[in-house]
Amino acid sequence: MLKRSLPLLILAAIAALFISLGWHEYLSFEQLKEHRLTLNALVLDYPILSPLVFIVAYIVVVAFSLPGGTMMTLAGGFLFGVIWGGFYTVLGATIGATIIFLIAKTSLGDALLTKAGKSIQSMKAGFQEDAMSYMFVLRLVPLFPFFIVNLVPAFLGVPLRTYIIATFFGIMPATFVFSLAGSGLGKVFEQGGDFSIAGILTAEMIGALVGLGLLSLVPVFYKKFKGKGSAA
């Protein structure tokens, strides 16, 4: 029992340290701008350790639903570039989400069940139709809060493999868009310009994500169409 709980206890300790030291307050555009030179130097001096620290920090943020996930994604692009920054973010977010999923499967899940609320019934039909496709939709299009999407599949019997695959690939499009935006923050800092999330989530970007979400529903529509054809 202790061995199973050890990873969770370690992450809980890291999260407590993260909050108690006020590090979450540094997850802002202003703080990234102020400390950018120091952070860039650390990445250059510690090319292996710095990505690991970033990934662990992202795991903690997602696993304990701490604020600052979006800012960390931008910071990942700024510090490590579009590709690696996006990859580190996807990896950290997937592991963090998987930890929540596994916790929800334990006795601790009862406490988390109340936070899911009515969202369980709202998602139940979608998972019954095609768990993989619906999971992709929920990851591509923010129909529900990220924390809720992390929890509910565990209560509805979604297989772990399905959950991990859909999470890893489903969050990629939006993640790399924010990572790309983060990679351009250097110029914004140099020019003294302002930055806003609204500037990233344009109508075109939202439309593209919705389109990808609808595309992932094709297997569901196909099954329904095929079923009606067979019945006829």
CB 18 within 8 A of CB 60: yes
Please report, for residues 66, 75, 87, 137, 153, the alpha-carbon distance to residue 173 in angstroms, rounded to integers and kept in the order given.
22, 17, 11, 12, 21
pLDDT at 230: 45
The mean pLDDT value of the chain amounts to 76
* pLDDT number for residue 91: 97
pLDDT 10s digits, 21-48: 555 555 677 778 888 888 899 999 999 9
Where residue 106 falls among pLDDT bands split at 50, 70, 90?
confident
pTM: 0.77
Give the pLDDT confidence score for residue 47 in this predicted structure. 92
Least confident residue range of 116-120, 183-187, 215-219: 215-219
Domain spans, the chain: 2-231
Quote the CA–CA distance of 11 and 22 in Å, as a whole number: 16
Give the dihedral sign, CA 135/141/146/149.
Answer: negative
**What does the pLDDT read at residue 200?**
53
User: Taking residues 79-107, what's their average pLDDT?
Assistant: 91
For residue 138, what pLDDT band results from cuts at 50, 70 and 90?
Answer: confident
> Is the pLDDT assigned to residue 93 strictly greater than 90?
yes
